[in-house]
Chains A and B, each alone.
Chain A
């Protein structure tokens, strides 16, 4: 079945630094999603991408849907302490397929 490789597994950065994480797949996806999970809470949708090549921003977050449809990246600029959490990518085939395939997450720690 499809698998998503998400990297890095964890990151330790200083407040104010930029962050980049990515997901790659052996299969094509038609939708890429990025979620953030805070401790004790459920994943919250950050950005949804629907077209190959699409670049979308949400505040300090920017995500891109790779041209090959097999990868996506998420950038966070000027990190702040509340950016701490686990970031998940997820891919969806679309059409009649229900399945959302998740990466295993990137744990981000921001040192003030």
Chain B
């Protein structure tokens, strides 16, 4: 079983819809992250959380919100989806020490029509 599980793996939806992407992990890591990946732009950080009561904005948080429901769960929401939010979204986790590598889920491919 994957250590970092993202659901759904694929989603097609319409402009204006609310969407939630979910991430759960079995690695026991405190830190969790949400990234989006676009061709030619690499990975960009949307939000990150260092523990259940800690939420922080990343580089590109506008149009997104997150919820850290438990140590193992971190969800990303698009309140009113727009087409330029079409991308590949990744959840990642890392240990408590800041130089510990991040470990990624397999991604959610989101298309907004």
Residues 69-109 of B, flagged 1 when their CB comes within 8 A of A and 0 if not, give: 00000000000000000000010100000110111111100
User: Chain B interface residue count: which class?
Assistant: 20 to 34
Task: Kindly provide the distance from the CB of B5 to the nearest chain A CB, expressed in whole angstroms.
Answer: 11
Name which of A13-21, A41-49, A65-73 contacts chain B. A41-49
How many A-B contacts are there with CB distance less than 8 Å?
Answer: 48
User: Whole-angstrom distance between the alpha carbons of A8 and B43 in the complex?
Assistant: 17
User: Chain A interface residue count: which class?
Assistant: 20 to 34
User: Whole-angstrom distance between the alpha carbons of A26 and B75 in the complex?
Assistant: 34
Task: Kindly provide the distance from the CB of A75 to the nearest chain B CB, expressed in whole angstroms.
Answer: 20
Query: Which B37-93 residues sit within 8 Å CB-CB of chain A?
Result: 40-43, 45, 48, 50, 56, 90, 92
Question: Which B residues fall within an 8 A CB radius of A?
Answer: 4, 31, 40-43, 45, 48, 50, 56, 90, 92, 98-99, 101-107
A and B contact pairs by CB, cutoff 8 A, 17 listed: A30-B99, A31-B99, A35-B104, A40-B107, A42-B4, A42-B92, A42-B105, A45-B102, A88-B43, A94-B98, A98-B48, A98-B56, A98-B98, A100-B102, A102-B43, A104-B41, A104-B42
